[in-house]
Amino acid sequence: MAAQAKAPQPKASQPKAAQPKAAHPNIVQPKVAQTKETQPIEITSEQKAAAIVVSLGVDKASEIYKFLSEDETEQLTIAVARLGYLPPETTESILDEFYKSCMTQKMVTEGGMEYARSVLEKAIGPDMAAELLSKVSKSLQARAFSFLSKYDDKTVFSLLHNERPQTIALVLSYMDSDRAASILTSLPETMRLKVVESVARMDSASPEAMKIVEKKIGMQLSTVMTTDYTKVGGIDYIAEVMNYVDRSNEKFIFDELGKKDAVLVDSIRKRMFVFEDIVSMDNMSIQRFVRDVDQKDLVFALKGSTPEVSAVIFSNMSTRMAEAIRSELEITTNVRVKDVEEAQQRIVGLIRKLEEAGQLVISKGGKDDIIA
């Protein structure tokens, strides 16, 4: 009997590799080699700008270049050339942040800061509104003395170090906190104290004063100043600057300034977060940063910590981890004070980073109300 021919069976289809979800309609994604695993990366402001330009496409991106200076064009082009693969979720987040910043700045420009605040608080809530307004406020302030962004910290220091403390304080108040801290710590000790005091006591600066200072430094204004007095400096700002100052300089500045004005030092400290303030954190927040902290940094930091700080940290780690840390502490000897201070500062940096991400809470001079 002839064997019946069986109908050919269709081959089992292989599962297709998951295609990455498009970050945004009509967004041009850079072609990159795919890796087996995408590691989370920290995105710089230059990379964000490059990602926005790439996402816009060639035609729209070319329009942006028309408004840039030669230096800005070069920096942006290099950033675009170096931009590697960004996950769609990251690109989406960058574009969302850019859109919100643009809308916030538009509202501030057209209706003023209070108008923008009232609109944003209703639209996205008070916390997000405050964050966006803070960024825009710094952006608007940065228009004054914006020429300093073209120079590194050493060059800016060479421009400022012979100026009066009040002049240096005014300029630093318009710079990013980390850059201001770098220049501040390069000043002679006596000048350092005077500048910190000047910034802390500063409240507002008139357009005329800023024009005089910019002219004195030898540059022309990059923008037209308004008739409003701009709020610069103050306790909150110098506290932010001091958060970036290394521990040795921090101790010196506060010790010496405290001899002259203990109340002012106390006001600044209350708005700062330093390593010793870990004792004021809640247990969940301490446990959160302990999970991510480098064990070597923790050992070095505890070498120079107070018994109170050590006790609260040990009480918020597992028994196994506590035993390991104590064993390391016993065999770790002859540690330099500088190494201890740097380890403590790295831990403080980690805590600030986690707070910015909303993963823990730190108390800042009673300004934050916490609901349990």
- 307-317 pLDDT, tens digit each: 999 999 999 99
pLDDT at 368: 45
The 10s digit of each residue's pLDDT in 162-209 is 888 988 888 888 788 888 898 999 999 989 999 999 888 887 666 677
pLDDT at 37: 43
Alpha helices (runs of H) in 142-246, residue ranges in sequence order: 153-160, 165-172, 177-186, 189-201, 207-217, 235-242
Higher per-residue pLDDT: 294 or 156: 294
pLDDT beyond 80 at 6:
no
Of 8-17, 40-49, 217-226, 308-317, give the lowest mean pLDDT range: 217-226
Beta strand residue intervals within the chain, DSSP E: 204-205, 230-231
Higher per-residue pLDDT: 78 or 300: 300
CA distances, 81 to each of 38, 85, 223, 326 (Å): 20, 11, 30, 48
The angle that helices 88-111 and 113-124 make with each other, rounded to 10 degrees, is 140
Residue 297: half-sphere exposure toward Cβ, Cα within 13 Å? 17
Nearest one of 30, 136, 131, 49 to 87, comparing CA atoms: 30
Amino acid identity of residue 149, one-letter, is: S
Separation of alpha carbons 232 and 267, rounded Å: 17
The label of the residue with tokens 């070597």 reads: 296
Adjacent-strand bridge partners of 204: 231
DSSP 222-289: SSPPPSSPEE---HHHHHHHHTTS-HHHHHHHHHHHHHH-HHHHHHHHHT---GGGGGGS-HHHHHHH
pLDDT at 87: 84
The CATH 1.10.220.30 domain(s) of the chain lie at: 146-270, 275-356
List, as own/partner pairs, every contact residues 341-346 make where C-beta atoms lie below 8 angstroms and the sequence separation is at least 24, other chains included: 341/246, 341/247, 341/248, 341/304, 342/246, 342/247, 342/300, 343/296, 343/297, 343/298, 343/299, 343/300, 343/301, 344/247, 344/275, 344/300, 344/301, 344/304, 344/305, 345/246, 345/247, 345/275, 346/294, 346/297
- Under a CB-based contact definition with an 8 Å cutoff, are residues 250 and 242 in contact? yes
Tell me if the pTM is above 0.85. Answer: no
146-270: what fold? Answer: Annexin V; domain 1 (1.10.220)
pLDDT at 273: 80
Longest Cα–Cα distance of the chain, Å, equals: 113
Q: How confident is the model at residue 227 (pLDDT cuts 50, 70, 90)?
A: very low
CA distances, 86 to each of 22, 33, 90, 101, 343 (Å): 12, 11, 6, 21, 31
pLDDT at 340: 92
What is residue 358's DSSP assignment? T
pLDDT beyond 70 at 264:
yes
Residue 285: half-sphere exposure toward Cβ, Cα within 13 Å? 22
Collapsing DSSP to helix, strand or coil, 42 comes out as: coil
Higher per-residue pLDDT: 56 or 14: 56
Percent of the chain with pLDDT over 70: 70
Separation of alpha carbons 365 and 250, rounded Å: 18
How many residues in total does the chain contain? Answer: 372
pLDDT at 347: 93
Percent of the chain with pLDDT over 90: 18
Q: Which two tokens stand for residue 2?
A: 């002839």
Second-level CATH architecture of 275-356: Orthogonal Bundle (1.10)
